[in-house]
Every structure is written in C-alpha cells, then in structure tokens.
Amino acid sequence: MRIVLLAPAIFLLSWLSRQEVLGQNTTGVAARQKVVNVGALFAFNSTIGKAAKTAIQAAVDDVNANPSILPGTKLNVVAMDTTCNGFHGTVEALELLEKNVLAIIGPQSSVVGHLLSHIVNELQVPLLSFSATDPTLSALQYPFFLRTTQSDYFQMKGVADLIDYYGWKQVIAIFMDDDYGRSGISALGDALSMKRIKISYKAALMPGTDANSIKGTLNKVNLMESRVFVVHTSPDSGLKIFSVAKSLGMMSSGYVWIATDWLACFLDSSEPTKGSTKDILQGIVAFRQHIPDSSLKKKFSSRWNSLVKQGRADSGLNSYAFYAYDTIWMIAYAINDFLNGKGNLTFSNDPNLHDLSGSTLKLSTLKVFDGGQQLLQILTQTNFMGLTGQVQYNSDKDLMHPAYDLINFAGIGSRIIGYWSNYSGLSIAPPEKLYDMPPNTSSSSQQLYSVLWPGEALKKPRGWVFPNNGKPLRIGVPYRVSYTQMVKKGSGSKQAEGFCIDVFEAAVAKLPYAVPHRYIFYGDGKKNPSYNELVNMVASNKFDAAVGDIAIVTNRTKIVDFTQPFAESGLVIVAPVKEIQSSPWSFLKPFTWQMWLVTGVSFLFVGAVIWILEHRTNQEFRGPPRQQLVTVFWFGLLTMFFAHKENTVSSLGRMVLVIWLFVVLIINSSYTASLTSILTVQQLSSGIDGLDSLISSNYRIGYQVGSFAKHYMIEELNIASSRLKELGGPQEYADALLLGPANGGVAAIVDELPYIELFLAKNCKFKTVGREFTKSGWGFVFQRDSPLTVDMSTAILSLSEGGDLQRMHDEWLPLTGCAKKTDDSSPNQLGLQSFWGLFLICGVFATVALAIFFLTVASQYKKFSSSNSVSGSYDSNGRSRKRSSSIKDFMEFLDVREDEVCKRMKSMQSDRQQESLSSWSRSFNDLSLSPP
C-alpha cells in the first residue's frame, strides 16, 4: 500500500527533474538550453581526485567564459564523490544517472568503470574517463566507454621495451589485486612475451594492504631468481612498497625497480619531496604520461600555481589533471556540435527497467538518452589542440600518439633519461619531434641516457641471482650404461664425473658468481635413458638444467635453450670390413675405361700431329712409309715415359710437345697416386659404402639406445622403423656387426662420431664408411630464456680459447689404435671428368699448330706453283713436268723437304733473272743492227 502511494510522488519528482533538464522541451526538438548537465565521478580526496577537481572546475569556468562554445548555454558539472570505493561509486553513479546527465566524466577507478560501463550501455550515456587506464575497458562490449587518457596497454609496451633494452629476461610483477592491477599486468605479460621475456612471478597485494602484508610479499619475492621488479599500483598506497623494500635491503645494488605512472603522479601531486621520501626512491625508474611542452601548458601551469597560492587548489599539478581539463573541453565541443546539429535532448523510459513488486529500487527513474548514440559519434570524431597536445582518436578509440617520460630518481631529485612512444620506441628526443620523421623502432635506434641504479650503481644490474631459498640448481644427468667416459656416477665426495661433468664444472668456475647445484641421475641404470625425455623434463621444470652428452638438434631447441657446443658431434656410419686380395688387373683400376680410351687416342693423336709438323724439316721423321708409321706410334707412346729419342726442330712441334708432356706429367702422377692407394691402404671393402647405399638397401641398421639417431633416420631419411635395431653399447655393436643382417645382426650402425671413435679404438675389424652426414654438437641444456645460458656459453668459449677444453677431451676421450685410421672407403676411380680440361687445352694447341702449319705450306705451294718455268712436281729423272693444281700434286709437295723447296725456289728465281737479262740483250742488239 505504501509503495502504491509513493509511486505518484516518485513519478512527479522524476518528471520535474526531467523538465528542469529539458527546459520544457517535450517535443523532442533540440533547442538551445540555458543549462546542460554533465556528471562527474571521482574520489575527491584521492591523489588523482584532488588535482582533477581543480582542473575540472577551471575548465568549466573557461568553457562558460568562452562565447564561441555553447553560446547562451551554461555547462553544469554535477560531481559525485566515489570515496575510492567500488560499491559507493556504483551507488553514486546510479544517483547521477537519475539526474538525466548527457554524459559522465569518470569514473576515476577502473573497478567502477567496468560496472558502470554495463549501465551506460543500456542507458546510452557516454562515459568519458580521464584516469581509468585498464586496457580491458577498451573492449567492444563497452561501446559507450571512451578513455580520455592513455591506456595501460601502451604503458606496458613501454615497460617491455625498457626491459628488453637492458637485456633482462625475467621480471617479477608487484600489483594491486583489482581490475586495474590485474589487467595492467596481463597487458605487461603479453608485451613481454612478444620479446621472449617472461614474468617469473606475480605478487598480488590486496587494495589497502598494510605494511606487514607488503613485507611478507617482498620477503617471498626476495628469495626468487629475478631482481627486476615492476610495481603497478595506485598512487595512494604504492609508496609503502618502496618504504618496506628499503627496510628489507632491497633497494641496494643489484636490484632493479620500475614503477608505472602512479609514482610520478603521486610525486607531482605532493608537496616538495621530503628527504626521507627521496632516500627510498634512489635508483628507481618510473614512467609518467608525456605532456608536450606548449604555450597552453605553460600558461595553465602558471595559473595552477596561482590557484595553489590562493588556496583554491590543494594538490600539485599531475598529468591526470591535464587530461581532466581537456575532457571538459572535449564534452563541451561535442555538445556544441550536437546542439548545432539539432540533436535530440530527450530521455525516454527503458522497457527493460521497471520497478519490481515489493522493491524499493526506483529503476524506472533511470532514463535512456535518446541522443546518446549521436553524441558518442561526435565525441569519437574529436580533433582539437588541448593541454595534452592533439586530442584525436584512432579507429580503436585510443588517443593518438601515446607517449611517456622515463624518470630516474637519483640524488636530491629526478631527471628524465628518455622517452617512450608508440611511434618511435625509446629515444632521448621528445616524441613530438619525431612524428615528422619515418617511424623507426629498430633496436639500433633505441637509446636512453645513463641511469643511476639502486645502491648508486652506474653499471647495469645483471637482473637476476640464484634463488636465495636454499634450493640449489637441479641438474639432470643421464645415467649411462655404455660410454661412461662421457658421464657416470662419481666416487667418494663426487656426485658425478666424466668428460661432460669436467667441462661443466670448469665453466661454472669461470662465472663471476657462485652456482649452487646438485646432480640428479636420470635413468634406471640398466640401459641408456632417452635423451629426448631428459630434455622434456628440463622444459617441464622437473630439472633446472641437464648436463651430459646431449646433442643439439632442431626439435630440442624448440623447447629449451642450449649453450655453445663444447664438443663436435655428427652422425656417421660404421660397417664391418674384410681384407681382400689384390686383383691381377689392379693396375687398370686407377682409371675408368673411358679415361683409358681417351688417353690412348690422345697418345696417337699427338704422335700424328708431331709427325706432320716435323716431317718436312726433320730427317728423323722421314723415310719409307712403314718406318714413318712406326715412328708415329712409337714417338706417341714413348712420351708417356719421357723416353722419346726423336728431336723436334720446328717451333710448332716443340710447342705442342711441351703442352703434351705437361698433360702426361699430370696423368702419370694421378695414376701413380691412385694405384699406390689401391695396392697399399685401401685393402678393405664393405657392402655399404655410404649414406646412399645405406638408405637404398634393405639391411638392418643399428643405433645406440637413447640416441636421437633413431628419430633422425625415421623422420629425415625415411628409413622404415622395422629396419632399425636398438643396441646397448660397444660389445653389442661388435656382435651385431659380426653376425651381419643375414644372421640377426646389422649391416651397419649409425651413431655420433665421438662414440664411434671410442668404439673403433678397440675394434679394428670395423670402420666408418662415407662421410659425416650431420653437423651438430653437444651442449648443456637450460630452461627457455635462462640467464645462465649466455654466461655459460661465454665460459665455454673461454675454455676453448685457452686450450682447457681440448685437454679435457684428450684426457677422457683418447684416440688410439684403429680410431686414427682413415675412414674413407675404397678410392673412386679417376674418370674423364677430372682431366677433360687438360685434354681440351692440348687439343686446342695441337689444332692451332696444324692450322698454322697448313697455312704456311699452302702459301709456299702457291708461290712455287705460280712459276711458269718450274712445274709443281718432278719425274723420276728430275725433268720438269707440266704444273698441276690437283690435291695429289699438293700432297706430293708436302712430302718434299722444306730446304729442297727453298733451294728450288731460289734456283727458279735465278733462272728468271737470267732469262730477263738475255731478253734485254737481244732487244738491244736488234735495235743497234737496224738501219738508221
């Protein structure tokens, strides 16, 4: 009954309130109103709220005093105090919405922002927050939430870039366990993971926690490995964390403290920092939202100082005050455009909201803003120059050009060591100076000024230590049954010993810090364990590291980190061999039959060429046809032994002979070396002579238990698993190879080179065939991104350069006996492909010499045959015959000695001169006898 009586009264009050806002405008037609109401939600007495209250009032005064903005209309801000309480904030928001405000500035808290975003979605009232930085508020499910400050999504990207810049791989996050803290650290985790950096531990603190709780949390994280702490909390309670850390000695050398923008906000809002506060902040690096220098900023800062002196501002000027000021102007510009565009300033009932029977909640007083969607659209298109720079949104409804100052607290104050922006990353130049340049976020372009770290350290902290929790490093060691020279259980006080253990201990000794560790053997001691499983146990955190003869292969590097290899390793093939008797025809094996054929033809060809070139000038190459034919064959063959007795007198003949003798020298040397190898060293043979024959055969293949060779042969070489046989050690190797595939053994064994060298040192009946067909090495295994990986790799390189690594190798893995023998299979025959270049050169020289020779002879023949007094050939009596130009005559001319041709040509020239003189004399006599 009481509810029924109160209903009309509530309705009347609601209606009157609506009329006050609408100015009697019940038609839904927009008209200039005398007053427009905008709500504001923030904690009046908080660090951010104190500054925001003054900034908002200053902005309202400026808007109402500006005749170009909302002419004839007064902007009225209805502020509600949320008292830093989520429940109170929600209640105040509902009360504010009953006043039919066009938009709400705030809330200050991300917690209230999540709750209120659902309500404004229903009532279509834009929600503009100048301090709620929770990245999840930008989700699509909150279309009416508009952030007027920077999102923590960008701040955490800046923190990740800073951590990556200094090369740290693990951090510990300390944060308030609320929506603001959790979402910020989640964004940090995403940003770090893109750089292969991880948050090793998340230390959550209850909002409003006391010093004892903080002390317990810091004691816990101080026992952990990482010394890089990221503190993301609220300005009102964050300083207690550093105070407690100082008392625990955690602000000393070796520690790294990074604070998000809450610290700069607190210090900017406070009175001049006291000495005690400065002391606890020494070495901290903090972020602060970047406000570009401008005349507007300087003018407002001066005005703020005046307000403080007048007692009208009880807080310093922090970055959120700038954003609060710009937010008022943003809503003023938007409402102005909204009214100019005839926007609808009416409110209507929401059919989804109605008073339940018996409920005292007056849900029906909450109205839907009919023009809310239009006003929101205008807000997202905002573009003006404010105190914070250019105020403009991108397609994701984030402010353009997010940027932060990086501040280092040192000495009696603080200094800016650089800037971070989403456009150019870390830089020492203000971001606004880089916007006109092409974006460059490469690692080489990132730079900051020097930092004074906690403990007044100038050197960059390492960023990690071994956990101070009494737990030494858990190192997994393979419990080998065979080849125990690599690693085995130690005797006496030694937990383990062997080649791999000695290398690890020597590398640890070179580190500039202690590495407490203990060896844990993995395996049952009956057979070699699976190395893949050992690596997986490191990846799953059952071991912190693994030490042993662990090969660095692709599938393992995907889940763990390996150090620099300390030993070379690769897969090789070992097969049984037997001595064979030399064949009576072994002398033919150095060359292939093609090589023999071309060599023989070449001897005859060169002999013929030399005969042609020497026949006309050298008496030793003349005589009866049979004798000349024997000379061609004999001369060519004797050049093989450099035993030819005929001398060459022509220049062309000598040139061809020199080239040919060089070819013969190379052929003789190659033949001698190959034949020597066949008759002496290579007295062994095997059914499998390399990788190709191993793959193509159907023989069974052995491999060592636990080795990656099985996976490699199946996955990479496509060898059927049915062909593979698991073998335990050297004795099983020898037995299986001697039995052979026909008797249940194997035709060959595939294993890593160091094992095979040890095996062959005592088993001379076997040998490696082919070449090493994988190239890898042995390394120590650490979890992904472990800082020990780099330091241990550096130590291993130092051992290698100093010769210690080779000394330990020779001590544990000596090569004796058969292991030092060559691992080549029977030598390949020398084929034509190895010598065709020599034959080509010789053939070209011989052809050129023949061409020059025939051109010279043809010229002589032409001159010789042009004489009318001497014929081209002679009869058996030496009488001249009629000249003929037939080929037969030319061939007969070739057979004539060159000196005889020259002699006859001189004789013909003398006869022609004598005939000319006689003819002249007769002509003279005839002239003298003729009558006058």
| Ranges 119-133, 330-344, 597-611: which has the least confidence | 597-611
**Helices 47-65, 262-269: inter-axial angle, 10-degree rounding:** 70
Q: Is the pLDDT of residue 120 over 70?
A: yes
pLDDT of residue 897: 66
Q: Can you tell me the distance from the alpha carbon of 741 to that of 694, in angstroms, rounded to the nearest whole number?
A: 13
Residue type, 201: Y
Structure confidence at residue 389 (pLDDT): 93
Could you tell me the CA-to-CA distances from 415 to 26, 233, 239, 274, 279 in Å, in that order? 58, 22, 19, 17, 15
Distance CA 768, CA 757 (A): 9
Percent of the chain with pLDDT over 90: 47
- Does position 30 have pLDDT exceeding 50, yes or no? no
What is the pLDDT at residue 102?
93
Q: Is the pLDDT of residue 654 over 80?
A: no
Cα–Cα separations (whole angstroms), residue 433 to 161, 421, 429: 20, 11, 7
Beta pairing, strands 74-81 & 104-105: unpaired
Mean pLDDT throughout 499-503?
95
Q: What is the chain's alpha carbon radius of gyration, rounded to the nearest angstrom? A: 50
Query: Vertex 109, ends 104 and 113: CA angle to 5°?
Result: 55
pLDDT at position 28 is 39
| 8 A C-beta contact, residue 797 and residue 558 | no
pLDDT of residue 857 exceeding 80, the answer is no
What mean pLDDT do residues 67-71 have?
Answer: 91
Q: CA-to-CA distance for 127 and 143, rounded, in angstroms?
A: 9
pLDDT digits (tens, 9 = 90+) for 750-765: 999 999 988 988 888 8
HEC secondary structure over 313-361: CCCCCCHHHHHHHHHHHHHHHHHHHHHHCCCCCCEEECCCCCCCCCCCC
Q: Examine the pLDDT at 367 and tell me if it is beyond 60.
A: yes
Residue 882: CB partners within 8 Å, gap ≥ 6?
A: 871
Asked if residues 102 and 149 have their Cβ atoms less than 8 Å apart, the reply is: no
Record the tokens describing residue 451, joined without a space. Answer: 């930092």
The answer on pLDDT for 825 being more than 70 is no
- Asked whether residue 112 carries a pLDDT value surpassing 90, the answer given is no
Find which of 507-511, 653-657, 882-886, 924-928 is predicted with most confidence, using mean pLDDT.
Answer: 507-511
What number of H helices and E strands is found in the chain?
28, 33
Confidence of residue 880 (pLDDT cuts 50, 70, 90): very low
DSSP string, 587-620: GGTTB-HHHHHHHHHHHHHHHHHHHHHHTTT-GG
Give the model's pLDDT for residue 669.
Answer: 80
Q: Is the CA virtual torsion 614, 617, 620, 625 positive or negative?
A: positive
Q: Closest Cα partner for 297 from 316, 319, 312?
A: 319
Q: Describe the chain by its helix, strand, coil percentages, rounded to 5.
A: 45, 15, 40
Q: What is the pLDDT of residues 302-318, one digit of tens each?
A: 999 999 999 888 889 99
103, 41 Cβ separation under 8 angstroms: no
Q: Which residue has the tokens 């570009």?
A: 292
- Biggest CA–CA distance in the chain, Å, is 184
Give kind and range of the element (H or E) at residue 59.
helix 47-65
- Please report where in the chains the tokens 């989403």 appear, as a residue: 422
Residue 8: pLDDT over 50: no
Q: Cα dihedral angle (649, 651, 652, 657), rounded to 10 degrees?
A: 60
DSSP 46: S
409 CA to centre of own chain? 35
The per-residue pLDDT for 602 is 78
Question: Cα 685 to the chain's mean position, in Å?
Answer: 46
Q: Which residue in the block uniquely carries the two structure tokens 């030993």? A: 567
- What CA–CA distance (Å, rounded) separates 778 from 276? 54
Least confident of 616-630, 791-805, 860-874: 860-874
CB-based contact 331:38 (threshold 8 Å) = yes
Adjacency order of strands within the sheet including 170-176: 198-205, 170-176, 228-232, 256-259, 285-289, 403-410, 413-421, 425-427
Give first-to-last CA distance, the chain, whole Å.
Answer: 183
Those residues with Cβ within 8 angstroms of residue 269's Cβ, 6 or more apart along the chain or in another chain: 47, 48, 50, 51, 235, 315, 316, 317, 318
pLDDT in tens, 417-468: 999 999 999 999 999 999 888 888 788 889 999 999 999 999 999 998 877 6
**Average predicted confidence (pLDDT) for the chain:** 83
Two structure tokens written together for 359: 């409920």
Amino acid making up residue 220:
K
Winning range, highest mean pLDDT, from 46-55, 829-838, 890-899, 915-924: 46-55
Confidence class for position 634, pLDDT limits 50, 70, 90: low
CA–CA dist 71, 48 (Å, integer):
31
Q: Residue 601: its pLDDT value, please?
A: 83
* Interatomic CA distance for residues 705 and 726, integer angstroms: 6
Amino acid (1-letter code) at residue 269: S
**Looking at residue 305, what is its pLDDT?**
92
Which pLDDT score is estimated for 111?
Answer: 84
Distances in Å between the Cα of 580 and the Cα atoms of 266, 588, 684, 686, 823 are 91, 17, 6, 10, 17
Confirm if 27 and 294 have CB atoms less than 8 A apart: no
pLDDT at 175: 96
**Tens digit of pLDDT for each residue in 220-235?**
999 888 999 999 998 8
Does the pLDDT value for residue 583 go beyond 80?
no
Q: Are 610 and 634 in contact (CB under 8 A)?
A: no
User: What percentage of residues in the chain have a pLDDT greater than 70?
Assistant: 79
Q: Please give the pLDDT value at position 10.
A: 35
Residue 662 has what pLDDT?
80
